[in-house]
Amino acid sequence: MKKNDFILVLVMVVLAGAFFIGREFVFSENNLVVQVKVEGQVYKTVSLREDIFLEIVNSKGKKNVLEIKDGKASITHADCPNQYCVHHKEISKAGESIICLPNQVVVSIKGDEEAELDAVS
């Protein structure tokens, strides 16, 4: 490896570090809600504090099942080919999300104040 390679790696580490620090500021931790988006539209928003099962059906009739338990959200069932969303770890922190690309379902955790997110863009 050349010297420039190490500089490159260093730049990557700094850049990643900036992302990690930045997200701590941007995504607040109070009053978390779970937002379900289907095909770009908000489908439902539920509190992370309640334990529920939610069936998410998209316009093609494809289903994903969201489970919220003990302040953690996960997808327990999906009728998509790759099953990435089912294998995804549980999410519980603001900014984390589980995505099912084939069904165009996004489950994400948000703080109550939406205005903060707009400040990022």
- Which residues of this chain interact with other proteins, rule CB under 8 A? 1-2, 4-5, 8-9, 12-13, 15-20, 23, 27, 37, 40, 81, 84-85, 87-89, 95-99, 101-102, 104, 106, 108, 110, 117, 120-121
- Residue closer to other proteins by CB (options 8, 57) is 8
Q: How many helices, marked H, and strands, marked E, lie in the chain?
A: 3, 7
CB of 50 to other proteins, least distance (A): 22
Nearest Cα neighbor of 80 from 107, 105, 102 is 102
Tell me how far apart the alpha carbons of residues 43 and 9 are, in angstroms, rounded to a whole number: 41
Residues 33 and 97: their CA atoms lie apart, in Å, by 12
Q: Cβ 81 to other proteins, closest distance in Å?
A: 8
